[in-house]
Structure 1
Amino acid sequence: MDGYKPPDGVRVDVTARRDAALYLGLAASWGTAFVATDAALDTVPPVPLAAIRFDLAALALFVVVLATGRASRPRGRGDWAPILIGGICNIGLHHALLFAGQRSVSPAVAATLLGLVPVLTPVATRLTRADEGLTRRGVVGILVGFAGVILIANPDPSNLTASVGAALVLASAAVWTVGAVFTDEDDAALGGLALQAWTLLVGALALDAAAFVLPGQSFAAAAFPPATVGWVLYLAFVPGAIGFLVYFRLLDRLGPIEMGLIEYVIPPFAALFGWWLLGDTIDAATVGGFVAILIGFCLLKAGVLRRRLYERVAPAGASASETD
């Protein structure tokens, strides 16, 4: 079989399946992060927790980069642009604003406001990339998915309008969107692993600085009993180092609109893990939210799903047209 090369269609299909598996794995990982964060916050303030998480995550990626002998020094704008944009926006500012907002906003309200990321991303992308956009069916899918997030989060409407914390969480969603839209690795000379290591390091340093500036967020206020150490290590290495490595790899391949939709996939996993580990209830509204998110995804991916179905039932040699 030496020299055998599978047909292009086979390679594309394998890549699509791998990306789908990574996408779901990332959503599951970030869903568990809510449970792990709730546990760790019992003894560590929010911003120091985020800072320590990304300090360790960056260190882990740098160890792998150096151990494998890969190029590790950024060279030129092609490397530094995605490192600084992703690090400052998606890691540093996003988490600083999010955790500052969560001091006065419930997790349900925060989850709902972060669910605006898939709504904001197509708008920002349309303004900056004329070749990307959504069909009307895609817009409906995003709105249906957002309705599902609201059903799962079940926020208190009174907290959405007058809270300063809500404004901070909304700002964190906007900052995340900016980072996703403007992070472009096309001109990068560094490999993806080294790029993500530097990105996490930039974000970690920003969070370290925020921990010294924000009131009540001092490292001195943190305590680390064995259970907390376990949760922090999990946050650093699974949703942190591995999770963000996968996120930025998929962002480069799938684009900001599709990756923004991960905010719709995370709440179901968070709810399931909360039910499994913490005994949280899954009521009819939560199930309805799951269904709404599934319908939203089907609307957004109708063209792909139709093609997959056609490939299974069509005679050999027939071709399906892509209309989306």
Structure 2
Amino acid sequence: MTQQQITKGLWLGLLGIVIFAVTLPMTRLAVGTPEAPQMSGVFIALGRAVVAAALSALFLLATRAPLPQRRDWVPLAITAGGVVFGFPLFTSIAMRYVEAMHASVIVGVLPLATAAVGALLHRQRPSAGFWLCAALGSALVVLFAVLRSGAAGLAIHFADVLLLAAMLCAAIGYGYGARLSQHMQAEHVICWALLISLPLTLPLALLSWPQTTVRASAWAGFAYLGVFSMWLGFFAWYRGLALGGTVRVSQVQLVQPFLSMLFAVPLLGESLDAVTVGFGLAVIATVFIGKQMPVHTPRLEPA
């Protein structure tokens, strides 16, 4: 892996994270609040997968993509379980009950989870300095949550459990998707994951179709989730993970909570203060330092 590949992977990973950072605010727009509910979390999660699957079918036909190899079907199913079903379903249900600012801080546990899954799958050995930076970035996110949430906000409730489960699902889906991207075209990984999920997502999305009038802004949020969060974002993200290494590129996710907060200001009218900006800059600094730390991949002996 060359330095040029690592740098390109980091930039592509950052592009994917910028796209993903809008996911929580857009989900909040689509699902609404307990006082003014819009679409159900089940419809948002599965309906956006159907939209992305339709786009995937067109893309795979246009690029004449080959069928996955037999060895790839199980990893594809695991990838789909994480990023097509688990993460969208858990976050969509949770986002009706928490603000985007609150949910964004919980995303801070994702880089460390993704790095751990990636290290296990790709037999990479991050240095102590790398793990120190990852731990420091995660600690900053936790400290930010403590300062912003207060004692009541730290109580574990159902929405928090769902968001933590979503993070675990995403980490597993990212890790397996990145491994598939080592020998499959990165864009094809998410496309096939979406297509093999269609026999479940399509009927469930139809059954959960909104039965009441939904605001135009909610449909706009749903459209973003289907086209960008569920599809185009993975083009950049999986390619970045494949080029730069899952363990290293996953640390770019440390900036995602704060990007989500920035997007929540114009989209949802939530407030952003100097404390949030300060913690955001501190976390970005840990990402910059962390990417300088060595990540070792054991050399395979020739057969």
Q: Give the shorter-chain TM-score range.
A: 0.7 to 0.9
1:110 maps to 2:103 = yes
Is the counterpart of residue 99 in structure 1 residue 114 in structure 2?
no
- Residue 125 of structure 2: which of 133, 136, 148 is its match? 133
How many angstroms apart in 1 are the aligned matches of 2:118 and 2:12? 23
Q: How many residues align?
A: 286
Give the stretch that moved more between structures: 17-26 or 235-244.
Answer: 17-26
Stretches of structure 1 lacking an aligned partner (at least 5 in a row) = 1-7, 305-324
TM-score (normalised: structure 1): 0.74
Aligned residue number for residue 60 of structure 1: 55
Q: Which residue of 1 aligns with 2:161?
A: 167
Deviations 1:142-193 (A, max 9, x none): 12222443466533443444423322222222222233334422685x5433
Output one character per residue of 1:207-252: Cα deviation in whole Å (capped at 9) or x when no partner.
Answer: 557769xxxx932446445443333222221222110222222233
Moved more, 94-103 or 203-212: 203-212
From the superposition, tell whether residues 124 and 234 of structure 1 become closer, same or farther in structure 2 (CA, over 3 Å): closer
* Deviation sequence 1:112-136 (CA, Å, 0-9, x none): 333212233444455555x423322
Distance 1:187 1:139 in 2: 24
2:268 and 2:195 mapped to 1: Cα distance? 32
Greater RCO, 1 or 2 (C-alpha within 8 Å, sep 6+): 2
- Structure 2 residue identity aligned to 1:270: S
List aligned pairs for 1:251-266, cutoff 5 A.
Answer: 251-266=241-256
Q: Which amino acid aligns with 1:149?
A: V
CA contact (8 A) 2:82 2:172 kept: yes
TM-score by length of 2: 0.79
- The CA distance in 2 between the partners of 1:170 and 1:37, in whole Å, is 16
Q: Distance in 2 between matches of 1:67 and 1:121?
A: 32
Instruction: Give the match for residue 47 of structure 1.
Output: 42
Contact 1:137–1:299 under 8 Å retained in 2: no
Residues 160 and 166 of structure 1 are in contact (CA less than 8 Å); yes or no, is this contact kept in structure 2? no
8 A contact 1:109–1:156 mirrored in 2:
no
Distance in 1 (alpha carbons) for counterparts of 2:31 and 2:59? 29
1:89 and 2:82 aligned:
yes
Once residues 192 and 301 of structure 1 are traced to their aligned partners in structure 2, the CA distance between those partners, rounded to angstroms, is: 22
**What is the rounded CA distance, in whole Å, between the counterparts of 2:104 and 2:201 in structure 1?**
21
Deviations 1:85-118 (A, max 9, x none): 1111222122223333445455444333332122
Residue range with higher mean Cα deviation, 294-303 or 82-91: 294-303
- Secondary structure of the structure 1 residue equivalent to 2:149: coil
Q: Residue type of the partner of 2:44?
A: L
Pick closer, same or farther for the CA change 1:63–1:294 going to 2, 3 Å: same
Bigger shift: residues 54-63 or 134-143 = 134-143
CA offsets, 1:42-91, max 9 Å, x none? 321222112111211121121122123333x334123x133211111222
Larger radius of gyration: 1
What's the Cα RMSD here?
3.2
From 14, 22, 27, the counterpart of 1:32: 22
Preserved contact between residue 57 and residue 236 of structure 1 (Cα < 8 Å): yes
Report how far residue 16 of structure 1 moved.
Answer: 4.1
Q: Could you tell me how far apart the structure 2 residues matched to 1:105 and 1:276 are?
A: 17
**What's 2:282 paired with?**
292
Question: Percent identity among equivalent residues?
Answer: 21
Q: Does 1:149 align with 2:176?
A: no
Distance (whole Å) between structure 2 residues aligned to residue 206 and residue 105 of structure 1: 28
What residue number does 1:20 align with?
10
Q: Deviations over 1:237-288 (max 9, x none)?
A: 1222110222222233333323432431212222222234444332121012
1:199 positional shift: 1.0
Q: Which moved more, 1:268-277 or 1:234-243?
A: 268-277
